Structure 1
Amino acid sequence: MSAPNPVPAGGPAVDGPHDPEHDPRASYGLEPDYVEGLTRRLVATTGRTAPLESPLNGAPLAHVPQSDAGDVAEAFKQARRAQAAWARTSLEERSAILMRLHDLVLERQEEILDLIVWESGKARKHAFDEVFHVALTARYYARTAHQHLDTERKLGIIPGLTRVEVNHVPKGVVGIIAPWNYPFTLALCDGLPALLAGNAVVTKPDSQTMLTALLGARLLDEAGFPADLWKVVAGPGSEIGTAIIDRADYVCFTGSTATGKHVARQCADRLIGCSLELGGKNPFLVLRDADVERAAEGAVRASFSNAGQLCVATERFFVADQVYDRFVERFVARTQAMTLGATHDWDNDMGTLISQAQLDTVTAHVQDAVGKGARVLAGGKARPDLGPYFFEPTILEGVTPEMTCFGTETFGPVVSLYRFHDEADAVARANDGEYGLNASIYSQDGPRARMLARHVKCGTVNINEAFAATFASVDSPMGGMRESGAGRRQGTEGIRRYTESQSVATQRLMRFSPVLGMSDETFAKVMTANARLMKKLGRA
């Protein structure tokens, strides 16, 4: 796999020899010229670089050029110029480019999958989730553009005389701060509706997965989006995050709750909007009438997809007494049968954690729980034989409130099991804590499960599925309640957040003031009579 772009003046953006026999990246097929072609997409003039290593085995992948506040300012300057022209293009043209992106993503999926796995270490089949989700999102918004963005007629105060329309106009330049755990879909999917709505984007992907985000930016170029409409900067959020928020017309952030609160405060100071998808401690309810085998299969995906490094992953299982033992037996058996590996192979059921920091957190949570009396039913230890940051899929029983993993998000392949006697108690325990992102309910009684879902304080609830039913249904909103976030991605809410609603009212004939010598008192009586008539006619 090579890059068509020439090496930029000033030398390569990565260290290391170009001799494939001695380049540690050669075993991955990641050529230095290819990396340079991607990093040229950055707005970064500091001369500083940050090393990027693969979590698969610690091999160096790149030295990524770093941006500063001045680069952020330049990125916004270029994006604003591009946005002014882009906002005047037709919705049909914007949609057509999105459809070309859909096709490109599917055609180039092997390249995308390779890069996701190199940077994140996730199993290849979990990397495909990202490719598929980006394609779904691009196609959905392209096909439904008019539904979300066309001017809408609204009721006027005087029927036939007051014409009211609502326009959905772009905010301007959207700032997106994206995480490392889903480096392709979260680098692109929040920004695609922003572009369709007529905005430009300045994005800061996480430093651990910059190359995947830059490949996404290249595909946007190849699909036909105008130059400078999508600008990418690189650097720690603590250094350039504030510069983005200080210039954006709207901010989209995905990450920790602590950082999300900081972002929200900065946005509030500027009176700009933001959407935040934050942490979770997601519950999974197995009711007494659940199909145990189906629930156990879903439990493995809910817990260990992307090694548990997924905002909507399950960390807490509440299982009815009637099926507890059978469910635990099947869940443990399926977990122990998983194929583990830090490779590019399709047959891996789970890949590695992304970093030493994630491994340290997961290890500390398990050791704390075991030290305080929790029992390990499966997994429970690091696997350096598989990869430097690999940790086994782990199931714990007997977790109590004094243990760290009881209420604190682990964000790794560690789950806890709890029995329940009463469904109302199970829902109350599922709602315990401050998070409310995703939940699953397994039952063969669909209406009852859906009724129960209304009482679960989570933004998405999946019936007889782990998370994919809501995550992949891009016509429906997705986001968190309580400290799991604010705002929604996907669906109408996912694109309207990037627009301003503008009401335009045209008044015909009658004016809203006395006419022909009418007194103010008489005018008030006329308007009162009109209000009563409208009520009688059933008007709003």
Structure 2
Amino acid sequence: MSSQHPEGGPLTDGPADPEHDPTASYGLEPGYVRRLTDRIVSTTRETAPLHSPLGGQPLAHVPQSSDDDVARAFERARRAQQEWARRSIDERAAALLRLHDLILDRQDEIIDLICWESGKARKHAFDEPLHVALTARYYARTAHEHLDTRRKLGVVPGLTRVEVNRLPKGVVGIISPWNYPFTMALCDGLPALLAGNAVVAKPDAQTMLSALLGAELLEEAGFPRDLWQVVAGPGSKVGTSIIQRADYVCFTGSTTTGRLIATQCAERLIGCSLELGGKNPMLVLRDADVERAAEGAVRASFSNAGQLCVSMERLFVADQVYDRFVERFVSRTEAMTLGATLDWGNDMGSLISADQLETVTRHVEDAVAKGARLLTGGRARPDLGPYFFEPTILEGVTPDMACFGDETFGPVIALYRFHDEADAVARANEGSYGLNASIYSRDGARARTIARHVLCGTVNINEAFGATFASIDSPMGGMRESGMGRRQGSEGIHRYTESQSVATQRLIRFAPMLGMSDETYGKVMTAQLRLMKKLGRA
């Protein structure tokens, strides 16, 4: 594996105030950080430090929000939502299209900030503005398809007119993670805005600036500033405060936290959507294109240093191609370039934090100590940055090892050989997760048949995860302990609406008429039911 070290020295001329605006020395104009952090609803005078995982440098001092600040954010959001909901669908969609263009115009700035905050390679940071732009354009172009009033079948043909309206829920609380700080902060909220809602967002403390830049772009695109409120602080404090006030909650994160949020939402009888953990399987079948599968496995396992909810941690390979596949997979992995620069040349960047590094190191050391074979990688790389860990391939992982069933969320994957495809599917379905899977085969029809037996919310054929995740018209989410609800597609916007049925009845009423007795009325209605069945009516 080749390496690139961080570039030293300031990237721009101009004054730098490390205490109040430390990113001035990173190529950002003076006042840039303050401009972003001023968007946080905070009156506490408390701040939390934010550091870059690339080299541990300070990035910002983030104002913290109190319970009163969260209450204030919801008050502002509710006032803005009432006016926003009165705007036409076309007006709301137009703002999304303006956002699409703004993101593409400023993608270099967005990518730079994501790299500084998350430590990921530039090519993985690029995925984020791309995904948000795709999401904005999709929902803008399909707005009427999802939100227009729809006619439904009435109980009495020609005499009962039924319409279904889609009404906004009100104010949506969005609690987003650090691993994709720009796209996860925005992509779930865009359909909420289009549906006429407001948002109170709590981005993860480790990546606040990327989320705040997203909020700034929303305002520049024409969304009212108060429509998207941002608060900051510990999830146990600020997250709970959001759940106590929101009309709906959207959360992406750990299964443990997701259970708590689901319980709190149930107590208030409000809905929630939860995209949670995964131990995602990839299946390489006997007829797979080995070179294509090996290339896909590298992306599936090591994109964003494995810190991707839909990345693979278990790789099942058919006997017939196992040795050839392993040789190509290891070779491609060892050719990867690791680096802590903002350049395009890096294949993998840093983990986000000391906690993530500790988890990855512990899982690998535990596996090796209990007999797993290390095919490549397996070491931390402090020479590159404080949280770097090499892309790692393990063989011979057994159920007594931590990385067998627990989510590592790092650049570590375990290889398993299989003889029978039914057995491989059964092993892929082991455990309690069910988020994403991948199947490689030259026979697409057969792979799609196998996919129906894999208990995951998304399955990619001859691709790692991009095919489903970038196809915004299709739902994305998890089965079992990987979550509930879906983002993207019609489900991704309808979760933020209340369906309202309005029926208009003409001529007849649902009661005896013209002196008819209750008994006669019952016989007439029964005869009508039988007639409707003969006529093929629903």
Q: TM-score, normalised by structure 2?
A: 0.96
What's 1:317 paired with?
A: 315
Distance 1:150 1:25 in 2: 45
2:8 equivalent in structure 1: none
Decide which of 376, 389, 393 is 1:391's aligned counterpart: 389
Give the match for residue 38 of structure 1.
36
Which of 126, 135, 138 is matched with 1:137 structurally?
135
**For residue 256 of structure 1, what is the amino acid of its counterpart?**
S
Contact 1:302 1:313 in 2 (8 A): yes
Q: Which moved more, 1:23-32 or 1:242-251?
A: 23-32
Q: Tell me, in whole angstroms, the C-alpha distance in 1 between the residues paired with 2:512 and 2:375.
A: 80
Q: Deviations over 1:352-385 (max 9, x none)?
A: 0000000000000000000001111010000000
Shift of 1:18: 3.0
Letter in 2 for 1:322: Q
69, 87, 90: which one aligns with 2:88: 90
Shift of residue 19 of structure 1? 5.5
Aligned partner of residue 193 in structure 1, secondary structure: helix
CA distance in 1: counterparts of 2:21 and 2:164, whole angstroms: 58
1:527 to 513, 525, 528: 525
Q: Name the residue aligned to 2:431.
A: 433
Secondary structure of 1:502 counterpart: strand
Q: After the TM superposition, which segments of 4 or more aligned residues of structure 1 sit over 4 Å from their partners? A: none
**Quick check: 2:39–2:212 contact (8 Å CA) kept in 1?**
yes
Distance 1:203 1:285 in 2: 37
Cα distance between partner residues in 2 of 1:273 and 1:192: 18
Q: Once the two structures are superposed, what CA deviation does each residue of 1:334-363 show, in whole Å capped at 9, x if it has no partner?
A: 000001001101010000000000000000
Contact 1:187 1:205 in 2 (8 A): yes
**Separation in 1, partners of 2:135, 2:16:** 38
| 1:247 match: secondary structure | coil
Judge conservation of contact 2:21–2:60 (CA < 8 Å) in 1: no
Q: Which secondary structure does the structure 2 equivalent of 1:252 belong to?
A: strand
Q: Deviations over 1:104-142 (max 9, x none)?
A: 000000100000000000000100100100000000000
CA distance in 2, matches of 1:441, 1:38: 42
1:12 is aligned to none
Equivalent in the alignment of 1:446:
444
Against the structure 1 CA distance between its residues 19 and 167, is the aligned structure 2 distance closer, same or farther, given a 3 Å change threshold? closer
Match of 1:173 in 2: 171
1:265-280 aligned at under 5 Å gives the runs: 265-280=263-278
Q: Choose which of 185, 188, 191 in structure 2 pairs with 1:187.
A: 185
> Quick check: 2:176–2:184 contact (8 Å CA) kept in 1?
yes
Counting only pairs closer than 5 Å after superposition, residues 335-354 of structure 1 correspond to structure 2 as 335-354=333-352
Paired position in structure 2 for 1:10: none
Which residue matches 1:500? 498
What is the deviation of 1:73? Answer: 0.3
| Equivalence for 1:55 | 53
Cα distance, 1:282–1:47 mapped onto 2, change above 3 Å: same
Q: Does residue 209 in structure 1 map to residue 207 in structure 2?
A: yes
Which residue does the alignment assign to 1:256? 254
Measured in 2, the distance between the counterparts of 1:247 and 1:102 equals 30
SS at match of 1:85: helix
Q: How far is the alpha carbon of 1:227 from its aligned partner?
A: 2.4
- Give per-residue Cα distances to partners, 1:278-328, cap 9 Å, x unaligned: 000000000000000000000000000000000000000000000000000
What percent of counterpart residues are identical? 81
User: In structure 2, what is the equivalent of residue 382 of structure 1?
Assistant: 380
Q: Is the 8 A contact 1:30 1:61 kept in 2?
A: no
Distance 2:203 2:419 in 1: 45
In the TM superposition, what is the alpha-carbon distance from 1:217 to its structure 2 partner? 0.1
Q: Give the counterpart letter for 1:334 in structure 2.
A: R
Alpha carbons 1:25, 1:59 under 8 Å: kept? no
Q: Match of 1:13?
A: none
User: Does the Cα contact within 8 Å between 1:154 and 1:165 map onto a contact in 2?
Assistant: yes
Q: Secondary structure at the match of 1:175?
A: strand
User: 8 Å contact 2:352–2:387 — kept in the other structure?
Assistant: yes
Partner of 1:121: 119
Aligned residue among 359, 364, 368 for 1:366: 364
Instruction: Find 1:160's aligned residue among 153, 158, 161.
Output: 158
Aligned length: 524
User: Following the alignment from structure 1 to structure 2, what is the Cα–Cα distance between the partners of residues 132 and 527?
Assistant: 57
Where does residue 403 of structure 1 map in the other structure?
A: 401
Equivalent residues of 2:22, 2:60 under 8 A apart: no
Report the alpha carbon displacement of residue 226 of structure 1 after superposing the two structures with TM. 1.2
CA offsets per residue over residues 230-256 of structure 1, 9 Å max, x none? 000000101111110000000000000
Q: What does residue 4 of structure 1 align with?
A: none
> Which secondary structure does the structure 1 equivalent of 2:212 belong to?
helix
Pairing partner for 1:477 from 475, 491, 498: 475
Amino acid at match of 1:213: A
Moved more, 510-519 or 25-34: 25-34
Task: Give the superposed CA RMSD.
Answer: 1.2
Q: Distance in 1 between matches of 2:340 and 2:313?
A: 22
Query: Who is 2:6 aligned against?
Result: none
Cα gap change, 1:19 to 1:260, in 2 (>3 Å): closer
The 2-side partners of 1:399 and 1:190 are apart by 36
Q: Which of the numbers 484, 487, 493 marks the counterpart of 1:486? A: 484
- Helix, strand or coil: the match of 1:348? coil
Q: Is 2:16–2:24's contact at 8 Å kept on the other side of the alignment?
A: no
Q: CA deviation at 1:25?
A: 3.5
Question: What is residue 8 of structure 1 aligned with on the other side?
Answer: none
Once the 2 structures are TM-superposed, how far is the Cα of residue 225 of structure 1 from its aligned partner? 0.3
Point out where structure 1 has 5 or more consecutive residues left out of the alignment. Answer: 1-16
Structure 2 segments unaligned to the other structure (5+ residues)? 1-14
Q: Secondary structure at the match of 2:355?
A: helix
Q: Amino acid of the residue matched to residue 328 of structure 2?
A: R
What per-residue deviation string (whole Å, max 9, x for no partner) do you get for residues 1-45 of structure 1? xxxxxxxxxxxxxxxx8369x986444213451000001111011
State the alpha-carbon separation in 2 of the partners of residues 406 and 389 from structure 1.
23
- Whether the aligned pair in 2 keeps the contact of 1:155 and 1:164 (CA below 8 Å) is yes
**CA 1:19 to 1:512, structure 2 compared with 1: closer, same or farther past 3 Å?**
closer
For residues 256-293 of structure 1, the C-alpha deviation after alignment (integer angstroms, 9 at most, x for no partner) is 00000000000000000000000000000000000000
- Which residue, 15, 18, 33 being the options, matches 2:16? 18
Asked if structure 1 preserves the Cα contact closer than 8 Å seen for 2:278 and 2:435, the reply is yes
User: What do the CA deviations read for 1:378-404 (whole angstroms, capped 9, x no partner)?
Assistant: 100000001100000000001000000
Please give the alpha-carbon distance, in whole angstroms, between the structure 2 residues aligned to 1:235 and 1:337: 40
